[in-house]
């Protein structure tokens, strides 16, 4: 099965956050690869990864990093594949805003679709949505996933309305 999504991160310490993207892709049935590529510690590996991604069959890249988070932007500068950036609140982050702004504030011409701080699950969903735009079966699986979200909210509403908010709070 050709791997359609590439998940990369600046350090293994990002894995607990980035695993959420992997979990979602696994759940929805999309083949992916996952590895560590450090913009600062392995710059040649970064170039090799970004330049070879399309020819290896990758269609979307999810890149997570923290602190001076240059990985997503640098990957985006070397490929025309869509790049989704995940700002990670890491050990070298001041408060997370450093990671967010490093990924979000890209110059014109080199976009990175930036999700929320530690928002790797949404990065997985967004990657699946990009692929699902031209894949009807995947699109249907995504619609089914979204329907489960709505059901959960409606169940909560019903529980609170029938039991009352105090009983629902004690659960």
Q: Which residue is nearest to ligand RP5 (CB)?
A: 10
Residues near ligand RP5 (CB under 6 A) are 9-11, 13-14, 38, 65-67, 88, 90-92
Residue 14 annotated as binding site: yes
Nearer to ligand RP5, 55 or 91 (CB): 91
Which tokens belong to 106?
A: 């890209």
Measured CA to CA in angstroms, residue 45 lies from 6, 36, 51, 148 at distances of 14, 10, 10, 40
CA gap 78, 88 in Å, rounded: 22
The residue with tokens 């019903």 is: 158
Q: How far is the CB of 72 from ligand RP5 (least distance, A)?
A: 10
Looking at the chain, the number of H-run helices and the number of E-run strands are: 7, 5
Q: How far is the CB of 117 from ligand RP5 (least distance, A)?
A: 12
* Structure letter (DSSP) for residue 29: T
Q: How far is the CB of 85 from ligand RP5 (least distance, A)?
A: 11
Binding-site entries: 11, 14, 41
Binding-site entries for substrate: 11, 14, 41
């Amino acid at each position: 099965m050709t791997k359609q999504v590439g998940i990369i991160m600046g350090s293994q310490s990002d894995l607990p956050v980035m695993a959420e993207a992997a979990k979602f892709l696994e759940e929805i049935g999309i083949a992916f690869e996952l590895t560590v590529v450090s913009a600062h510690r392995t710059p040649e590996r970064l170039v090799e990864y970004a330049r070879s991604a399309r020819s290896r069959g990758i269609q979307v890249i999810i890149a997570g990093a923290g602190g001076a988070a240059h990985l997503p932007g640098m990957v985006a500068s070397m490929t025309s594949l869509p790049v989704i950036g995940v700002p990670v609140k890491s050990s070298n982050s001041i408060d997370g805003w450093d990671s967010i702004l490093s990924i979000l504030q890209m110059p014109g011409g080199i976009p990175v679709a930036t999700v929320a701080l530690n928002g790797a699950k949404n990065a997985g969903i967004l990657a699946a949505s990009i692929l699902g735009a031209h894949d009807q079966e995947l699109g249907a699986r995504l619609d089914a996933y979204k329907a489960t979200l709505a059901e959960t909210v409606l169940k909560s509403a019903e529980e609170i309305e029938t039991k009352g908010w105090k009983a629902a709070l004690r659960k």
